[in-house]
Amino acid sequence: MTRKMVRYEVRPEAAARNEELIRDVFAELRALDLDSFRYEVFVLGDGVSVVHLVEHPDGANPLPELESFKRYSAGVRERLVAEPVFVELRVLGSTAA
């Protein structure tokens, strides 16, 4: 199982557009009804810090193939204050089923 976290800060003037693009990704994901894929995105209290959490079986990440994710990714660097931070995660404990 692969688990990753991506953290970044979006430019204040790009925050609404970033959220709109992420909502489009979730709309496309819901239509696929993927059981073994988990994806969550959080906006922190400052409104510009964003955290993505993704979990999927090794080699089975559907995100890069989604048209909505391609649109999100196409201009992401222009929306950010600095380069995103990518982190591999290891589960220590969870209440998720």
Check residue 59 and give its pLDDT. 78
* Backbone φ and ψ of 29, nearest 5°: -65, -40
Mean pLDDT of the chain: 93
Under 8 Å between Cβ of 50 and 8: yes
Q: Would you call 30 helix, strand, or coil by DSSP?
A: helix
Q: To 10 degrees, what angle do helices 15-32 and 67-74 make?
A: 160
Check residue 39 and give its pLDDT. 95
Check residue 25 and give its pLDDT. 97
Segment 4-15, tens digit of pLDDT: 999 999 999 999
Q: Would you call 97 helix, strand, or coil by DSSP?
A: coil
Please give the structure tokens belonging to residue 61. Answer: 């990440």
Strands 49-56 and 38-43: antiparallel
Check residue 97 and give its pLDDT. 61
Cα–Cα distance for residue pair 1/88, rounded to 1 Å: 11
Check residue 50 and give its pLDDT. 97
In the chain the domains, ranked by start, together with CATH numbers, are 2-88 (3.30.70.100)
Q: Would you call 8 helix, strand, or coil by DSSP?
A: strand
Please give the structure tokens belonging to residue 24. Answer: 């489009």
Question: Does the pLDDT of residue 66 top 80, yes or no?
Answer: yes
Check residue 96 and give its pLDDT. 74
Segment 46-56, tens digit of pLDDT: 999 999 999 99
Q: What is the mean pLDDT of residues 70-93?
A: 94
